[in-house]
Structure 1
Amino acid sequence: MIKTVFLVGSLREKSYNMMIAKHIQKRYADRLEIEILDIDLPNYNQDLDMDGKRPEKVENFNAKVNEANAVFMITPEYNHGVSGVLKNAIDWVSRTPGLNNKPGLVASSSMGATAGARGYNNLIQVLDTMPMYLLPGNDIMIGSVHEKFDQDGNLIDEGTVQFIDLVVDKFIEFYNKVK
């Protein structure tokens, strides 16, 4: 079982990104132990980024990322970029060994046809400075995401389900190669 943390870049109550994370968490529970982390953290401030000064919520968040074997991230596209809350969470954890040598998977979604591509690309740019092992060429990008779920938040678009199945299978193979 791969102990995985999921960072969801949307705080909205009915976030499609959170629905995707919950789908993955539930569907692959037999192979991935996924914890969806709360990334509603205080803004990064280097003056607080030292032992004894870091907010407790940040310390707990960093500890969970540090203990994980893998990290998944999903972002909406906000103003042609990665969401601020996800970038802030990355800024906090990047000051620890948390992302070092961790296999990762990146995803994006949007209600538009571009599937959050600019937010996705911006996230890849940010993570390019991290010593992570991102699954190459198989990331999840979901356009028209609002049409893929039922009213209970269940992913019902079979093509999307099958695509995510394929990517998660490839991620598990990738994980076993790099770890």
Structure 2
Amino acid sequence: MAKKKKNKQGLDGQVIASNRKARHDFRILETYECGIALVGTEIKSLREGKASLVDAFATIDDGEVWLRGLHIPEYSRGSWTNHPPKRNRKLLLHRREIDSLMGKVRDGNKTLIPLQLYFKDGRLKVELGLAQGKQDYDKRQDIKRRTEEREVVRELGRRVKGMPG
């Protein structure tokens, strides 16, 4: 089993915030790992493990990708230099990735949703998903499929143990 690297800030690869509802409401087609431009006390607040991706989404404006709606609360030990909690933050991607995303978002009814915030090699990363919205019947089909898979696994477990089904 691989050990997690320990850096001077704590465990590396630690997930700070996760958007669990995104995978329920959207079909994730592709994922991208990108950096995020932060100011002031935002990184200190994130190292305390505080952030919310609930209403967050990304847009492409003038060839730049912006993360909107990400809530990073003010740093508890900060002063008047604290950052505004819900400001727009620039995402750092390569030009060819931005151009590819621009084409995919413009072509169909697709959107960019942040899935996770985490630290990697001491830097904050955002897992950005290219997503397509699900209809209600798609969500019901997914729930039905998961229930059926769970029942199959449960039945196999009973057979292995020799219990009557």
Normalization by structure 2: what TM-score? 0.23
Kindly name which structure, 1 or 2, has the bigger radius of gyration based on alpha carbons: 2
Normalization by structure 1: what TM-score? 0.22
Task: Name whichever structure is richer in strand by fraction.
Answer: 2
Structure showing greater relative contact order (alpha-carbon pairs closer than 8 Å, 6 or more residues apart): 2
Task: Name whichever structure is richer in helix by fraction.
Answer: 1
